[in-house]
Amino acid sequence: MPRRGVCSRAVTQHTLSVLVENKPGVLSRVAGMFTRRGYNIDSLAVSPTEDEHRSRMTITVDASRFPVEQITKQLDKLVNVIKVRDLDPENMVARELGLFKVSTSGTSRSDILALVDIFKGEIVDVTSESMIIQATGTTAELENLEELLRGSGLVEMVRTGVVALGRGGKTT
Amino acid sequence: MPRRGVCSRAVTQHTLSVLVENKPGVLSRVAGMFTRRGYNIDSLAVSPTEDEHRSRMTITVDASRFPVEQITKQLDKLVNVIKVRDLDPENMVARELGLFKVSTSGTSRSDILALVDIFKGEIVDVTSESMIIQATGTTAELENLEELLRGSGLVEMVRTGVVALGRGGKTT
């Protein structure tokens, strides 16, 4: 299987929750480690946490291709990385958000609306030529919706990548 | 104002939609450019696009502190970066997703449920000690919800960071 760059669609995904100090250069160090070691990131989301001095990175990697224990160890060694957790898929909540722009010229709006309804999505914008659909769910659900929208005039899309929290107590 | 590292909460945010080739090292190059130049990223989301050979990075930066034209120019020069667009806030749809874990020991569940209802959120997990709330909206809406949950037993949270599409035709 070829290395597919920054984003790929993996079947066996591990979700890493990485708590980092909010310092310049930390993202660069994390990304650099993945590049140097040749590990491929499937998705990455970085944003503030409940503590303004810390950020949380949620990184998904394909575990069938890369040794996850080694990745977590390498991450743990980096400067400004506070804690790394490989979330247990059986004991976490993982979601992502997607925005899908579909052309309304060739396809009937009612077909698209039916899909939006099934996926509990929301129409967040309409112009004369296109609509933007917002949907949330697991990666599998969003990929399923994407596949269906490809047949209904998908023009472009953007997804956040997965974010996740462990169930029960504190994740990191 | 001190540099606050990888994530901060900016008032004047620009949203950059960066289309990149799905090649190893591109995230590292983008992150490295920000670090070297001392630009601060407020949030970053990377995930697949409608074309499997390309990924889209959505990066938000504080325009009051950094020259956005210069950032877009520098990004445009990087290897494997296909197109950079500084999205017009008046003409885009920008959303993010947050997961918020709240302790249910000290707070009444009905108070939390009322908040979830107002923000059109969803309870996606419940244990004896905590609940996880999923919410979507603009950054301002999620920050508003976060503030309110801080008073209602917020234990931890993770956010995806913003993703955005321009209205009408193709964004990038």
User: In chain B, which residues have their Cβ closer than 8 Å to the Cβ of A80?
Assistant: 5
The C-alpha atoms of residue B169 and residue A129 are separated, in whole angstroms, by 8
Query: Residue A128's closest chain B neighbor by CA?
Result: B168
Strands B130-137 and B92-103: antiparallel
Q: Residue B28 and residue A26: Cβ atoms within 8 Å? A: no
Question: Hey, is the C-beta of B120 within 8 angstroms of any chain A C-beta?
Answer: no
Comparing A12 with A167, the larger pLDDT belongs to A167
**Residue A171 confidence (pLDDT):** 61
Comparing A49 with B170, the larger pLDDT belongs to A49
Q: Residue B31 and residue A35: Cβ atoms within 8 Å? A: no
Please say if the pLDDT value at position B10 is more than 70.
no
Q: Which two tokens stand for residue A53?
A: 């001095």
Q: How far is B125 from chain A (nearest CA, A)?
A: 7
Give yes or no for a contact between B105 and B129, defined as CB atoms under 8 angstroms apart. Answer: yes
- Residue among A27, A46, A97 minimizing CB distance to B95: A97
Q: How confident is the model at residue B12 (pLDDT cuts 50, 70, 90)?
A: confident
The pLDDT tens digits of the residues spanning A16-39 come to 999 999 888 899 999 999 989 888
A3 domain residue, yes or no: no
Whether A143 and A103 map to the same domain: the answer is yes
Whether B25 and B86 map to the same domain: the answer is yes
Please say if the pLDDT value at position A148 is more than 80.
yes
**B171 CB-near residues (< 8 Å, 6+ apart):** A101, A156, A158, B17, B85, B87, B92, B164, B165
| Site of tokens 């291709």 | A65
Dihedral sign, Cα of residue B158, residue B53, residue A30, residue A70: positive
Question: Hey, is the C-beta of A103 within 8 angstroms of any chain B C-beta?
Answer: no
Q: Residue A158 and residue B130: Cβ atoms within 8 Å? A: no
Whether A81 and A134 map to the same domain: the answer is no
Give yes or no for a contact between A161 and B56, defined as CB atoms under 8 angstroms apart. Answer: no
Q: How confident is the model at residue B2 (pLDDT cuts 50, 70, 90)?
A: very low
Q: Which residues of B83-96 are buried (b: 16+ CB within 10 A; e: fewer)?
A: ebbbbeeeebbbbb
User: In chain A, which residues have their Cβ closer than 8 Å to the Cβ of B48?
Assistant: 7-9, 43, 159
The C-alpha atoms of residue A66 and residue A19 are separated, in whole angstroms, by 21
The pLDDT tens digits of the residues spanning A52-105 come to 899 999 999 887 777 899 999 999 999 999 999 999 999 999 999 999 999 988
Mean pLDDT of chain B: 88
Type of residue numbered A24 = P
Give yes or no for a contact between A113 and A63, defined as CB atoms under 8 angstroms apart. Answer: no
Q: How far is B144 from chain A (nearest CA, A)?
A: 13
Q: How confident is the model at residue A156 (pLDDT cuts 50, 70, 90)?
A: very high
The C-alpha atoms of residue A115 and residue A92 are separated, in whole angstroms, by 27
Stretch B72-87: mean pLDDT: 95
Q: Total domain count for chain A?
A: 2
- Residue among B26, B52, B163 minimizing CB distance to A6: B26
CA distances from B25 to A7, A21, A83, B57 (A): 11, 23, 24, 14
**Residue B168 confidence (pLDDT):** 81
Whether B99 and B58 map to the same domain: the answer is no
CA distances from B156 to A81, A113, B160 (A): 17, 35, 14
Stretch B130-154: mean pLDDT: 93
**Residue A138 confidence (pLDDT):** 94
Q: Residue B165 and residue A171: Cβ atoms within 8 Å? A: no
Q: Residue A93 and residue B49: Cβ atoms within 8 Å? A: no
Of the residues B85, B156, B162, B171, the best mutation for testing chain A's interface (the one with the most A CB atoms within 10 Å of its CB) is B156
**Residue B3 confidence (pLDDT):** 42
Stretch B58-79: mean pLDDT: 89
The C-alpha atoms of residue A54 and residue A74 are separated, in whole angstroms, by 19
The C-alpha atoms of residue A151 and residue A147 are separated, in whole angstroms, by 7
Of the residues A19, A28, A61, the best mutation for testing chain B's interface (the one with the most B CB atoms within 10 Å of its CB) is A28
A145 domain residue, yes or no: yes
Query: Which of residues B92, B123, B141 is at a domain's end?
Result: B92
B76 domain residue, yes or no: yes
Query: Residue A94's closest chain B neighbor by CA?
Result: B99
Question: Hey, is the C-beta of A164 within 8 angstroms of any chain B C-beta?
Answer: yes
Stretch A124-139: mean pLDDT: 94
Q: Which two tokens stand for residue B71?
A: 């950032």
Containing structural domain, residue B104:
93-164
**CATH number of the domain where residue B113 is located:** 3.30.70.1150
Mean pLDDT of chain A: 88
- Residue among B22, B99, B169 minimizing CB distance to A93: B99
Stretch A161-171: mean pLDDT: 86
Chain B segment 66-85 residues within 8 A of A by beta carbon are 80
Comparing A129 with B106, the larger pLDDT belongs to A129
Please say if the pLDDT value at position A50 is more than 90.
no
Q: How confident is the model at residue A14 (pLDDT cuts 50, 70, 90)?
A: very high
Stretch A125-144: mean pLDDT: 94
Stretch B116-129: mean pLDDT: 93
Whether A25 and A79 map to the same domain: the answer is yes
**Residue B108 confidence (pLDDT):** 75
B171 domain residue, yes or no: no
**CATH number of the domain where residue B59 is located:** 3.30.70.260
**Residue B171 confidence (pLDDT):** 61
Please say if the pLDDT value at position B104 is more than 50.
yes
A51 domain residue, yes or no: yes
CA A170 to chain centre: 21
- SS3 breakdown of chain B: % helix, strand, coil, rounded to 5? 25, 40, 35
**Residue A152 confidence (pLDDT):** 86
Q: How much is the pTM?
A: 0.88
